[in-house]
Each structure stands twice: as structure tokens, then as C-alpha cells.
Structure 1
Amino acid sequence: MENYFWNTEEHEEKTIYLLVIYDIVSNKRRNAFAKTMNGYGFRVQKSAFEAMVTKALYRKLLKEIPMMIDATEDSVRVYKLRGTGEVSLFGMNEQIKNEEVLII
């Protein structure tokens, strides 16, 4: 078992911890979605990304998602978590790197 923690209150500019999970039918849309999500955070499972972003980037992401999916057959869930938290990892997990993500 492995754990990691976050505290969005520590940063001067308030940040938001996100968990984005998705089920996108089309390979083309799914690959484009994953590529976009790599600009916000990091993949933790095949259809799940974690990210720590500013409020402005969070709003930008929420505007982008509807344009990347087909609402009649795709599903995206964005969980917004603030404050402190803990993630417990079990089984095969890639090493989580604490790195800054910049979108230009």
C-alpha cells in the first residue's frame, strides 16, 4: 500500500484538486480528450486523470469538455476536491510525481 496527500490550502493562489474519469466511445475523441487532460494533470488509470489546478484552469476545463465529447454517448465526471485529502493506492501503481503543469 502507498499513500499520498494534498493540501490545496497551502498554496497562495487557491488550487483545486480534480479527479476526472471518463467513458468515451470513439477512439478519436477519447485520444483527443486524454491528450487535452495531459495538459492539466496526469493519468492514474486508463480512463482517470488527477490534476491540481487554479480556479481559472478549472473553469477553462469545464468549458472545454462539452466541446470534446458527444453528449449522447460519452460520459465525463469531474470531481472537485478542496482542502486536505489523502489517496491510498493498492496494487500496481505508477509512481506519482509532484510536478507543476503549465498550459501555454
Structure 2
Amino acid sequence: MLIIYDIVSNRRRNKFAKCLNGYGFRVQKSAFEALIEKRLFLKLQKEIPQLIDPSADSVRIYRMTGYGEVDLYGVNTEIKADDIMIL
């Protein structure tokens, strides 16, 4: 999966990145790749809302299985079909 984020606060951003280090590895400043089993993914889904401010921050998780799925948290929680292109 690919996890990308835009977190306004330096403190929250550092805490979020530290959490993601336990799941995968950083590929860019605000992007992590992870290959995790479902149990860990469910744990991550519970942690994310506690680490961000949903009125200011944005987190996207792109699951790269089958047709793929996207989970969105925080700002910009709506996506349109023409907004997505997976390469």
C-alpha cells in the first residue's frame, strides 16, 4: 500500500511519520510504502484518526490489490473517478 499525507502541524507530522515507520518505509517526505497483513492494516486504520486533525490534515491510503481501494482521512475526503490514476 501507499500512504501519503499532508499534515499542517510539525509536531503531528513528526508523530505520524514515526508511527508509519513501524508499518513501512519512507519513499518521499510525505509518502510511505508498506506491505502489511490485514490485522496490522486494521490497527493502522484505528491509529490514524487519533494522530491527525481531520479539519486541517489529509491522509490517503492506496491499497494496491485487485482494482485497488483508497481510504481518505481529513481534508479532501471526496474523490472523483477521474482524479485517480495508478501507475
TM-score (norm 1): 0.62
- The structure number with the bigger radius of gyration is 1
Question: Which has the larger share of strand?
Answer: 1
Q: Once superposed, which parts of structure 1, at least 4 consecutive aligned residues long, lie more than 2 Å away?
A: none
Mapped partners of 1:63, 1:80: distance in 2: 16
Partner of 1:79: 62
TM-score (normalised: structure 2): 0.74
CA deviations 1:23-65 (Å, max 9, x no partner) are 0000000000000000000000000000000000011101100
Q: Which runs of 5+ in 2 are unaligned?
A: 67-87
1:30 counterpart SS class: helix
Aligned residues: 66
Q: Which has the higher helix share?
A: 2
Structure number with the bigger relative contact order (C-alpha 8 A, sep ≥ 6) is 1
